[in-house]
Structure 1
Amino acid sequence: MNYFEIFENYLKNEKNYSDNTVISYMKDLKDFDNFIIREELASDALGATRPRLARHYLSYLEDEAFSKKSIARKISSLRTFYKIMIMNNLIDVNIFENIETPKIPKRLPKVISENEISYLFECIDKESLLGYRNYLILELLFSCGLRSSELTNLEIGDIRLTRNEILIHGKGSKDRYVPIHDNLNEQIKNYLTNYRPKLISKSDLETKKLLLNYRGEELTQRGLQKIMKKLISDANETYQISPHMIRHSFATTLLNHGADLRVVQELLGHEHLKTTQIYTEVTNKTLKEKFEKLHPRRAKND
């Protein structure tokens, strides 16, 4: 295998990264490889063994006005690449090992409030075929904190109604079980009995996927986004919403109601607790706003 194949094999089979993550890492390597060849600094990325070339590439990225987030990701990708090449005895030095990545400003996740979520539920016509399906979609997103890919990949066999849980196939091929409440359990039963058969009858497709589109075919992530837009339109709201925003709202709602951070980490399928801790800043901000608004002494002078 050449060094591209070795790196891709490591990302897929050793790290179990998602397809999108692997694509991003490989693009970062390809971009650097092209830069090295174009600037005639070495024969290719594998031939770039002088640390000053890494610094030179960092300067190039900054001059090209790449965002700090993009630069940090590219440097991280290349640092990993050289680490793997050393492990495979293809080179002796990691030229990106001591390159400092730019500090990325912390961005709080966008969430919608519990009241806004409740209003969206109220505006769905549960009596219609697609309306009931949309209601179930919103319920699964908000009650389970699913990613869009996790939702669209759900299969009937992943639903464990007798145990009140569903099996989620998460990022990097990491599976987890997420509990479901009794109300959601009943909604899924009703959907499987009375609504899904009507949807699948619209197509000749045989599929085990839980959620189907209006043609009776497997629901895609793009189709899911269109459903999100319809929910907002039906509620006569103007803000934008995405499945990931609802996932954020799931996490902050649990924390606002006293859930342990590690429990939320497990439910979200986060590998590191640090990823989950961003939500504590959202809840702390909410707590401060409520305190300043509601405390009886807020407007009184000593």
Structure 2
Amino acid sequence: MSFREVVEKFIFGKSKNTMKTYWSLYRSLEAFLNDNQLSLQDATPYHFKAWITNFRTANTQAEAKRFLSALLKFLGAYEQLSNLKSLLREVKPDFSKFRVDLNIEEIQKLIEACYPIEYKFAVSLMALNGLRVSEVLGLHWQDIDTQNDTITLQRREGEPYYPKGMALNDKPIRIPLNHVSKELYNILYNGSASHEGRILPMSYKTFLKWHYRFTEGVLNKPYRITPHKLRHAFAHVWLANGGSIRKLQAMLRHKRLETTTIYSEPSEKELTNEFELVLNKALR
């Protein structure tokens, strides 16, 4: 039985999303085996470890580990699976899930490249206001106040998208609105026949399709820019330009300051820049 036939049997009956993920990983593993002139039977745990470490992010490495573990169980290769698990404990992603090195110029470049305008508006709110996807998708027209330059975040009964952790009886939260999103909102408002309900009546799945189309096509980064990474990028820009971490906590709506400090994990470039700044000042 060929490797492809094995995988077809292995993924049969799994959910649509799992099948899609596993099929993509199968193609990657098959290419790796072909490049190294190996069959599935000849591959050792060390080969599998090398394949997994080719993935640069924690999420994709975790998916690859799950795929391999499930495949080896399916094949009954329990000894090989045990050896692989021991090796995989040593595998660490090259990039922290929290570390982001997007600067304001790259954020502006991304926003400019995005279309349609609905998606451009969404990205501007995440990258320049620190909003989560659920918060962006849950915004109604009246939540944007262009007179006072504010955004109101609230949970509405029956709505699928709302601020994380907010209950129906919680008071709405008001935060400042950035001027880029304000301009985009005005264009959307003037071009819309109706101003009832959500500004962006799209699903999370549709949003993700647009998101990865642009982040992977415009910004050449060695890690995947998830929607939440734009929120982290906002935090980095805030702190890099003299914003205080306590006020950042309020902007991000974190209950604990410790959570906000996670968002301040420096990139290698930020660490180098500050090191040179501090050391040069000390040596004067």
TM-score, normalized by length of structure 2? Answer: 0.53
The whole-number CA distance in structure 2 between the counterparts of 1:286 and 1:254 is 16
Post-superposition Cα deviations, 1:49-97, rounded to whole Å, max 9, x if no partner, equal xxxxxxxxxxxxxxxxxx9xxxxxxxxxxxxxxxxxxxxxxxxxxxxxx
1:162 match: secondary structure:
coil
Q: Which runs of 5+ in 1 are unaligned?
A: 1-66, 68-106, 125-129, 201-205, 212-217, 298-302
Note if 1:150 corresponds to 2:135.
Answer: yes
1:135–1:112: structure 2 CA closer, same or farther, 3 Å change rule? farther
Q: Which residue of 2 aligns with 1:246?
A: 230
Partner of 1:228: 211
**Post-superposition shift, 1:121?**
2.5
> Structure 1 292/272 Cα, relative in aligned 2: closer, same or farther at 3 Å?
closer
Residue in 2 aligned with 1:209? 198
Contact 1:168 1:177 in 2 (8 A): yes
* SS at structure 2 position matched to 1:141: helix
* Structure 1 residue ranges (4+ consecutive) displaced by more than 3 angstroms after TM superposition: 236-239, 291-297
Q: Is residue 172 of structure 1 aligned with residue 165 of structure 2?
A: yes
**Alpha-carbon shift at residue 180 of structure 1 (Å):** 1.1
**Alignment check: 8 A CA contact 2:245 2:260 kept:** yes
User: Offset of 1:258 from its aligned partner?
Assistant: 0.9
1:271 is paired with a residue whose SS is coil
Is 1:268–2:252 an aligned residue pair?
yes
> Do the aligned partners of residues 286 and 272 (structure 1) sit closer, same or farther apart at CA in structure 2, a change above 3 Å counting?
farther
1:269 is matched by which residue type in structure 2? R
- 1: CA distance, partners of 2:234 / 2:179: 17
Match of 1:182 among 160, 179, 186: 179
CA distance in 2, matches of 1:162, 1:228: 30
Change (3 A) 1:208 1:237: same
| Identical-residue share of aligned pairs (%) | 24
Aligned to 1:118, which of 108, 118, 128? 108
Give the secondary structure class of the aligned counterpart of 1:172.
coil
Shift of 1:132: 1.9
Task: Report the secondary structure of 1:166's partner residue.
Answer: strand
Q: Per the alignment, in what secondary structure is the counterpart of residue 177 of structure 1?
A: strand
Residues 111 and 120, structure 2, Cα contact 8 Å, conserved in 1: yes
Equivalent position amino acid for 1:172 in 2: G
| Residue in structure 2 matched with residue 135 of structure 1 by the alignment | 120
User: Size of the alignment, in residue pairs?
Assistant: 174
Give the 3 Å change call, closer, same or farther, for CA 295–263 of structure 1 in structure 2: closer
* 1:281 corresponds to which of 235, 240, 265: 265
Give 2:29's aligned residue: none
CA distance in 1: counterparts of 2:241 and 2:127, whole angstroms:
14
Which one-letter code corresponds to 1:210 in the other structure? I
1:184-215 Cα deviation digits (max 9, x unpaired) = 32221111112x44xx7xxxxx950011xxxx
